[in-house]
A = this chain, B = another copy of it.
Amino acid sequence: MREGPDIARIAALVADPARSAMLIALMDGRALTATELAGLGGITKQTASSHLAKLVEGEVLVVEAQGRHRYFRLAGPHVASLLEALMVFSSDAAPPLRTGPRDPALRKARICYDHLAGEMGVRLFERMQADHWLADDLTVTTRGREKLAEIGLDLEKLPSSNRPLCRACLDWSQRRQHLAGRLGKAILDQLLARSWARRLPASRVLSFTPEGERIFNGWLR
C-alpha cells in the first residue's frame, strides 16, 4: 500500500454533481459569481458557498473579489484538461465509436477554457502543422507569423507570461488535438474581436457568422 500522489482528494472535489456542474459551467474560461453558480448547480447559495470554498482550497478554482462580488474561475488550463479527460469517458458510453456530445453545434465549434475547440479547432491545429505555421516543437515559424499577421495577430504584442505560447490539448469530441496556450487564446480573442464568431449565452457553443466561417476557411486555404 505505497501511496502515490493524492489522486483521490482532487477526484473527490469533482465527484459531486453540484460541483461538477459548476466546473463545467466555468469551462469556457469566464468568471462567475457564487450565486450564478448556485443556480447552475441547482443548489442554494449556502451550499454553493461551501462547495466553492472547497474547490478554492483544493486549488481547482481561484477567486477574485470585486466589490461585494466574488468571481470564481478555473485555476488554469490544466483544470480544463482534466475535465475534458473526464468527458472522454461519459461520452463514448454505448455504441462502437460515437464520441462526444450530441449537440452538433457543440461538436463543430466551442470554447475550451480560453481557446477554440471542436471540429474547427482541430482543423485549425492540423492545418497549422501541415502547412508549417508551427515547427515540430510547436514554435511558430516565419511562415506562421505571416499567416497570423493576415488576421491581425502580432506575436510580439501578445502579453507575455510563463504560460507556453503553444500547447496541444486533447479534444473531447474529436479525440484529436487542438491548439491551446497563449496563441490559442489570442486566436480565439481575434475571432471574437473581428466578429467572425460569437459565444452563445450560457453555453460553450461558439457560433460562426456565415461570413466569418467563409473567411476562416479561406484563411486555412
Contacts and interface: CB of A to CB of B under 8 A. Distances in A.
A47 interface: no
Interface in A43-63: 59-60
Interface string A1-36: 111111111111011110111011000000000000
A20 to B, nearest CB: 4
Contacts of A8: 14-17, 19-21
Interface residues of A, number: 54
Contacts of A170: 81
A119 B55 CA distance: 31
A120 interface: no
Contact of A168 (B12, B41, B177): B177
A132 interface: yes
A150 interface: no
A68 B78 CA distance: 42
Contact of A12 (B15, B40, B130): B15
A39 interface: yes
Nearest to A10: B89
Interface of A: 1-12, 14-17, 19-21, 23-24, 39-42, 59-60, 78, 81-83, 85-91, 93, 97, 101, 126, 129-130, 132, 134, 136-137, 162, 168, 170, 177, 202-203
